[in-house]
Amino acid sequence: GEDVEQSLFLSVREGDSSVINCTYTDSSSTYLYWYKQEPGAGLQLLTYIFSNMDMKQDQRLTVLLNKKDKHLSLRIADTQTGDSAIYFCAEKSDRGSTLGRLYFGRGTQLTVWP
């Protein structure tokens, strides 16, 4: 499968910005995603970016994509305790036999301290 790497833990203070980083390997991926998993729940799509974009902003969320370096980041401005969760980076394969499948990173546990 494809390799999606992200750091496992991030701690920030409430009100600060959080930046979660991710690297991926499939240069043909057309869509990259950030999913959020709250305790005891399934994953929910947080945001996504199309590969011909460099940046996407959605309220407190900013996604940056460096396609040359295959690097994706998620910035959460004014982080709140309710943002504490596991964040998964995922890429959608556009290669032949794995067309359309999602490959997930290991998830970054974000802890927000009051």
Partner 1 sequence: EAQVTQNPRYLITVTGKKLTVTCSQNMNHEYMSWYRQDPGLGLRQIYYSMNVEVTDKGDVPEGYKVSRKEKRNFPLILESPSPNQTSLYFCASSVRLAGGPYNEQFFGPGTRLTVL
* Amino acid type, 46: L
Three-state SS sequence of the chain: CCCEEECCEEEEECCCCEEEEEEECCCCCCEEEEEEECCCCCEEEEEEEECCCCEEEECCEEEEEECCCCEEEEEECCCCHHHCEEEEEEEECCCCCCCCCEEECCCEEEEEEC
One residue of 68, 82, 100, 114 binding partner 1 per CB under 8 A: 100
Candidate ranges 11-19, 56-64, 74-82, 88-96; the one touching partner 1 (CB under 8 A): 88-96
- Among residues 13 and 106, whose Cβ is nearest to partner 1? 106
Considering only residues 12-51, where is the footprint of partner 1 by CB under 8 A? Answer: 30-31, 35, 40-45, 48, 50
| Residue 82 found at the interface with partner 1 (CB under 8 A) | no
* Amino acid type, 62: T
| Residue 55 found at the interface with partner 1 (CB under 8 A) | no
- Among residues 14 and 86, whose Cβ is nearest to partner 1? 86
| Residue 92 found at the interface with partner 1 (CB under 8 A) | yes
One residue of 3, 106, 111, 113 binding partner 1 per CB under 8 A: 106
